[in-house]
Structure 1
C-alpha cells in the first residue's frame, strides 16, 4: 500500500513539473511537505489517507473607473479683472487627491478659455451681463488636475463669439484634453490605457448640437459605438435652480426656453449605445439612475465656479461622482465624494456630506424603481 502512495506522489510531482506553468514557491513548499510526510509513513509503516491537492485560483475582473464633476468656471476677466483669482492659485488644491483615484475624469467647462474676443451679449450694464471669459492660462489647471475630457456644450460657450469658441477648443487641444459640444466639433475620440473612448455633448443653445434633435444624437452615438469601446454622452439641460430639483420626465422650460426632456434624452442615448451619461446645467445637484445597467447623472451641479455664481444652500454642493464599470460599460458600483463651494472660494471636501445626502434623497424620490442602495460612506449599488 505504501509503495502505491509513493507511486501516486511521484506521478503528482511529475505532472506539476511537466505543467505549462512552473510551480510557485507556495506549491513547491506543499510538494515537499507531501514528500516528507510519505517518507515518515514509509519508515513507520503507517496506514495513510490519500491527499487531494487543490491549487488556489484568483479571478480578476477588469474594470474602468470614471469621475465626473459639474460646471467649471475658474475666473473671468469680463467685465473686469476683479473676477479673477489670485495669480498662481490652484483651483483644485483641496480636491486633487480624490481626482487621482480614477481612470477618466470629466467636467463641464462653463464658459470659454480665450484671451481675446468681444462680448457677444448685448447688455446695458456689463456687471449684470453674465459672460465668462477665462484667460487661457487657467486651462493649465485643468491639465494639472488630470481632466481627460470636457464638455463645451452649454449656454456660455458662445459668450465671446466664434473666436472664443475656436480659442477654447485650441487651448484644450493643446493641453491634451479631449473636448466636444459645438457645431465645429460635435464629437471626439481618445485612447487611454488601450481603451478607445467616444465622446459627444449636447445642449439647447445656439452654438451646440441640440438636445432636442434625437435623430442626429442617436446617429452620432451609434457611429461612435461602432468604432469605440466606451461611449460617453454629456448634456446641458433641464430647468435651473432650487425650484427644479426633480427630474420631471417631461420637457422642461426655463425663462420660456425649451431645455429638453433630459429623462427621455438620456434613455434614448443608452438605447442607441451610450455607456455612461453625465448631465449638468441646472446649477443644482439632481438624482442619479441606472438604466439598462448604464449609469446616468442628471445634474452634477456647480463644481468650481469662481464668483459670479449664486452658491447659496444646495447650489453650493459640488459632488464628485465616481462610477466603476466593466470594460463593456456595465455599471458595477458608484460613490459620491461630497465637495462644497462658497462665494469666491474654490471647492473643498464637505465633512457634512451635503451632496451625498441630496443625491440620495432625490434618487429615492425620482427613481424609486431603480432601488439604488446608498451607504453612509458614499457608495451606491444596485440591489443584489
Structure 2
C-alpha cells in the first residue's frame, strides 16, 4: 500500500507513531518508542481490587461501593521486523515526441534490464514529462534548452518494468508547463504508480508492515527545494516520524563528463544554482534519512557512508532514448541494490553496472563499478563506500 501526502499533511484522525531513530531529528527527542494509543483505556491503579476476607486477626473491611476493575493498558505495538530491499536508478527518459520514440511503442524498452529492476521499493528519476499538451519551455533559438515529453500511455511501461515510486523533483517536470505536469501526474495515477518530489510531498510505501517514506528534492520551482536546507531538514524529520525507513532522492549538481567529482560548496550549471549536494545529504541524514540516492549530473559519482547511512551522489543516466549524449562516462551507469533493516540501518548493498547503448537504451555491463569505486576513494577517503570488484558495497 502506498500513500502520498502533500504539504506534509496526514489523513485526519490517523494516529501518529514515533519510532526509534538512529540520531536526533530536528525538534525531536533523540530516542523514541513505538506507542499504541488505545482510546478510552486507562491503567488500573489497584483501587478496584477486592477486599480481604474476614478473620479474627484481620476483621472484615467495611463494605463500600467499589468500581469495576479497570482494564490494563494495551502493551506497546510490536516494532516492525524484517529487511527491505531497495533498488534505485538515475535519470530515465523513454524518448520524446514527435519523432524520437522507441520501437514497438516502448513495450520492450526495459526488457534488457528487467532482471535488475526488482525489489520491494524500486525508484527512478523521471527526467521529463508524459504529455501531449502544454507549452514547451524552449524557444527555437535556445541551443542549450532541452524539453522531453513522451506519450502519457508510457506510464504503463514504467509500472510494468517494476518501478514503485517515480521522482518528479527535477528540472524537466515543467518542460511543458502546468498542463504537461498535470498530465504526467495523471498518467502515473492512472496505472497506480506513485510519485514523489512535489513541494512538501511525502510518499509512503508499506512493505510487510514496514513503512518506507520516499521524499524527492531538487533546486527547481515546485519541487521540495534542496537549496533550502532548514526546510529540507524539517520535511525529512516529519517523514521520519511517519515511517520506519526514509529514502531521500535528490536531483542536484553540475552536468557533464567533467563533473564526476563531488565538490564542496554550491555547484552551478549554465548559471543555475544546482545546490550543495554534499551539505544537503549530510543534513537530511542528520534529520532522519536512512538512504540518499542522487541523479542530475548525467554521470556517475562516488558513494560515502555518513553516520552509517549510504549516500550515492549520482547514478548517472539509466536510459535516454535519443535524448542524451552517449559514449564514455555519459554511457556509464548503474543500479543501486540496497537492503536495509526495518529500523533503517544498513545491512548490505551492491552496485550493478549498466550502460546506455545507441540510441540510448539500457543494458547490463560497463565500467560503473570501477568508476564509482575510484571516485568514492578519491572524494571521501576514510568515509568512502568500499566497493569490491563484483559491486558489493561495504561500510568503511
Q: 1:245 to 1:345 in 2, by over 3 A?
A: closer
| Aligned equivalents of 1:374, 1:180: Cα separation in 2 | 29
Are the aligned partners of 1:107 and 1:151 in contact in 2 as well (CA < 8 Å)? yes
Question: Secondary structure, in 3 states, of the residue corresponding to 1:269?
Answer: helix
Partner of 1:8: none
Are the aligned partners of 1:317 and 1:354 in contact in 2 as well (CA < 8 Å)? yes
Are the aligned partners of 2:357 and 2:363 in contact in 1 as well (CA < 8 Å)? no
TM-score, normalised relative to structure 1? 0.78
Higher helix share: 1
**1:67 maps to which of 79, 87, 92:** 87
Are the aligned partners of 1:178 and 1:190 in contact in 2 as well (CA < 8 Å)? no
| Aligned equivalents of 1:85, 1:137: Cα separation in 2 | 13
Q: Which has the higher contact order (CA 8 A, sep 6+)?
A: 2
- Alignment root-mean-square deviation, CA: 1.7
Are the aligned partners of 1:180 and 1:187 in contact in 2 as well (CA < 8 Å)? yes
- Per-residue deviation, 1:334: 1.3
- Per-residue deviation, 1:340: 0.6
Partner of 2:77: none
**2:193 maps to which of 167, 177, 180:** 177
| Aligned equivalents of 1:71, 1:276: Cα separation in 2 | 18
Are the aligned partners of 2:370 and 2:389 in contact in 1 as well (CA < 8 Å)? no
| Aligned equivalents of 1:171, 1:323: Cα separation in 2 | 28
Partner of 2:341: 326
**2:114 maps to which of 76, 89, 96:** 96
Q: 1:368 to 1:224 in 2, by over 3 A?
A: same
Question: Secondary structure, in 3 states, of the residue corresponding to 2:163?
Answer: coil
Q: 1:372 to 1:204 in 2, by over 3 A?
A: closer
Q: Which moved more, 1:323-332 or 1:280-289?
A: 323-332
Are the aligned partners of 2:308 and 2:395 in contact in 1 as well (CA < 8 Å)? no
Partner of 1:34: none
| Aligned equivalents of 2:172, 2:140: Cα separation in 1 | 15
| Aligned equivalents of 2:170, 2:292: Cα separation in 1 | 16
| Aligned equivalents of 2:386, 2:228: Cα separation in 1 | 34
Question: Secondary structure, in 3 states, of the residue corresponding to 2:234?
Answer: helix
Residue 110 in structure 1 maps to residue 130 in structure 2: no
- Per-residue deviation, 1:187: 2.6
Q: Number of aligned pairs?
A: 315
Question: Secondary structure, in 3 states, of the residue corresponding to 2:339?
Answer: strand
Give the unaligned 5+ runs of structure 2.
1-80
**1:370 maps to which of 371, 383, 391:** 383
| Aligned equivalents of 1:82, 1:219: Cα separation in 2 | 43
Question: Secondary structure, in 3 states, of the residue corresponding to 1:318?
Answer: strand
- Per-residue deviation, 1:145: 1.0
Partner of 1:46: none
Partner of 1:190: 205
Residue 358 in structure 1 maps to residue 371 in structure 2: yes
Are the aligned partners of 1:113 and 1:133 in contact in 2 as well (CA < 8 Å)? yes
Partner of 1:254: 269
Residue 123 in structure 1 maps to residue 140 in structure 2: yes
| Aligned equivalents of 1:300, 1:139: Cα separation in 2 | 22
* Aligned 1:279-318 pairs, distance under 5 A: 279-318=294-333
Deviations 1:107-158 (A, max 9, x none): 0000111122221333337x87411011111111110111011110111110
Partner of 2:44: none
Partner of 1:151: 167
| Aligned equivalents of 2:195, 2:175: Cα separation in 1 | 18
Deviations 1:77-132 (A, max 9, x none): 0xxx22111134422111101223x221110000111122221333337x874110
Are the aligned partners of 2:323 and 2:360 in contact in 1 as well (CA < 8 Å)? no
| Aligned equivalents of 2:386, 2:338: Cα separation in 1 | 14
| Aligned equivalents of 2:223, 2:239: Cα separation in 1 | 18
- Which protein has the larger Cα radius of gyration, Structure 1 or Structure 2? 1
TM-score, normalised relative to structure 2? 0.76
